[in-house]
A and B are shown apart, each in its own frame.
Chain A
């Protein structure tokens, strides 16, 4: 075990090269709907129970299934209203179980990136070959069913090994959503030395963290989104920032919750200087225009200069 993941270097928030987004935007806004499949009867993992209740966990399973039966289309209607595209964090088995949902996202020009095969299969205990096989199969499912190259990764149920990010970079990935250490993209060091970045994916504004872990009221969630935007927008006048809103249709699309998100997006999209981006576009822009300057700045700070 390591005391530090060793994936990124220290760079003070106010001592960085200036990020300039397309069109001079202050904030790169991206929406990350998690489109997930949780299994009814998943195999056991040595480190983590898939469901808290004895089999069958009817409450846990049906709570997630609500997102697929009811939630996605509601969320899509809200994002459509503001011209926002999703960057889908995809349980790639969804391509087989519910291709109808994938088609609806694809026809909107949404991006798909890997969120594993199922959200009930964890990488704990996998050897390197097994994890590579799972990653590579998930990327292949996206390619086969959507024609898109899988550029990004968010580990299924946030389950990682020390090798996860190295393996994904070696398989051709370009960015990770698994690191929550910053409000701007960050160069990520992998063992192969590929040019690879972290794109901020806010856990604090993630609806499932908000509703399930922190148990926050829907209208307060809407205010949190607006408050986060106001600050990132103000700071974005000096150097471009990233705002991510990760969503789960099984949480946010409930009738007592969706309007709070709707109103917050309406507020954000009233502003000029918001780049409505996808994860791939943010990663690509940073890699093309800012990655090298950031690496140099990190070296500079590390050298004590």
Chain B
């Protein structure tokens, strides 16, 4: 037995990346960013507002949190819906209590199902990101581009009437993209995206229709990943968030270059009564360091740290 010759050939072995989406760049080598007021750490908090259908098609890729039991999986459907009925309001209250600004990445179908929730989210003044149609419409290489384009159109159309400002940012369900998702987004006026998790600061990302800014939303620290996939205790998740904040603060102060902490929250995870207190502890931890933190909306962070080509 042997392998095809091509398996020992490396046509993309060259300096830099093995694709043309972005340039090779090390965070520590870049021109330092200085946040407003000379604060060393920017904090972006994003809340994902999601709908998991009872009758998933599960095409291509299943999002974590999707139905797993024989139809009708009322168990998981209703646990996810708890996030939109109860959890989100606990999260909103915690944000207000600690004077924290957050953005909301929202599935388009939530706007159709729960306009009352959209009006409440809009009233916070928080920035809206488009987050796909629902958690069963996972953009991936298994999906035809025309259907994918329709999903994006539907999502943007459903969210637009409620958005406090025109939507410019995108977060894909399950952080999954097809090979043309960036093109489809850019064609539709999206200018930044949070899916790729290879950095902690915004960077310049190429599409055939013009550039996007990539503003990575942390994944390994998100409540759903740490609590839902790693099965760590909620107190451990809170410790990890506090440790991350202190680590980045120290690095920013030592290096003189601004750093960014992004926190990704899911009301269907963190809004449970036994968990919400741990989010409040994290927000309290940030508040005690408030004079060194610039808490801002993602578009404000991008406006301040606009990535240039090659960065």
- Contact surface of A with B, Cβ cutoff 8 Å: 37, 39-41, 43, 45-46, 53-56, 58-59, 61-66, 68-70, 72-74, 93, 96-101, 117-118, 121, 125-127, 129-130, 133-134, 215, 217-219, 254-260
Contact = CB atoms under 8 A, between A and B. Distances in A.
19 contacts: A46-B3, A53-B140, A63-B219, A70-B28, A70-B199, A72-B26, A97-B24, A117-B10, A125-B3, A126-B3, A127-B1, A127-B2, A130-B7, A134-B8, A215-B229, A217-B232, A254-B244, A255-B245, A257-B243
Given A55-B141, A97-B18, A100-B26, A63 B198 contact: yes
Contact of B220 (A97, A126, A256): A256
Given A218-B243, A255-B248, A45 B7 contact: yes
Instruction: Select the residue from A56, A98, A99, A117 with max chain B CB neighbours within 10 A.
Output: A56
Contact of B14 (A54, A97, A129): A97
A63 B218 CA distance: 10
Contacts of A66: 197-199
Contact of A69 (B15, B27, B60): B27
* Shortest Cβ-Cβ A-B pairs, 10 listed: A54-B141, A65-B198, A127-B2, A255-B244, A256-B244, A256-B240, A62-B198, A255-B247, A62-B196, A215-B230
A1 to B, nearest CB: 13
A56 B177 contact: yes
Contacts of B243: 218, 255-257, 259-260
Nearest to B18: A40
A127 B3 CA distance: 7
Interface string B197-229: 111100000000000000010011100000001
Nearest to A260: B243
Contact of A219 (B2, B172, B219, B239): B239
B37 interface: no
A39 B244 CA distance: 29
A106 B270 CA distance: 45
Interface of B: 1-4, 6-8, 10, 12-19, 24-29, 60-61, 140-142, 172, 174-179, 195-200, 216, 219-221, 229-233, 236, 239-241, 243-248, 251, 261
Contacts of A68: 24, 26
A59 B29 CA distance: 24
Contacts of A134: 8
Contacts of A121: 7
B1 A258 contact: no
B10 A93 contact: yes
A254 B175 contact: no
A5 to B, nearest CB: 19
A116 to B, nearest CB: 11
Contacts of B1: 125, 127
Contacts of B61: 53-54
A217 B226 CA distance: 9
B179 A55 contact: yes
Contacts of B172: 58
B236 A217 contact: yes
A70 B174 CA distance: 23
Given A54-B140, A69-B27, A254-B220, A215 B175 contact: no
Contacts of B220: 63, 254, 256
A127 B7 CA distance: 12
B141 A56 contact: yes
A53 B138 CA distance: 11
B247 A130 contact: no
Contacts of B16: 97-98
Given A130-B2, A255-B248, A260-B243, 16 more contacts: A37-B18, A40-B17, A53-B141, A55-B179, A58-B172, A58-B196, A59-B174, A68-B26, A99-B15, A117-B13, A129-B2, A215-B231, A217-B233, A217-B236, A219-B236, A255-B247
A104 to B, nearest CB: 9
A258 B179 contact: no
Contact of B197 (A37, A62, A126): A62
A70 B176 contact: no
Given A130-B3, A217-B232, A218-B243, A59 B176 contact: yes
B176 A58 contact: yes
A273 to B, nearest CB: 31
A68 B179 CA distance: 22
Contacts of B177: 56, 58
A256 B241 contact: yes
Contacts of A45: 3, 7
Contacts of B18: 37, 39-41, 97
A208 B73 CA distance: 34
Contacts of B179: 55-56
Contacts of B12: 39-41
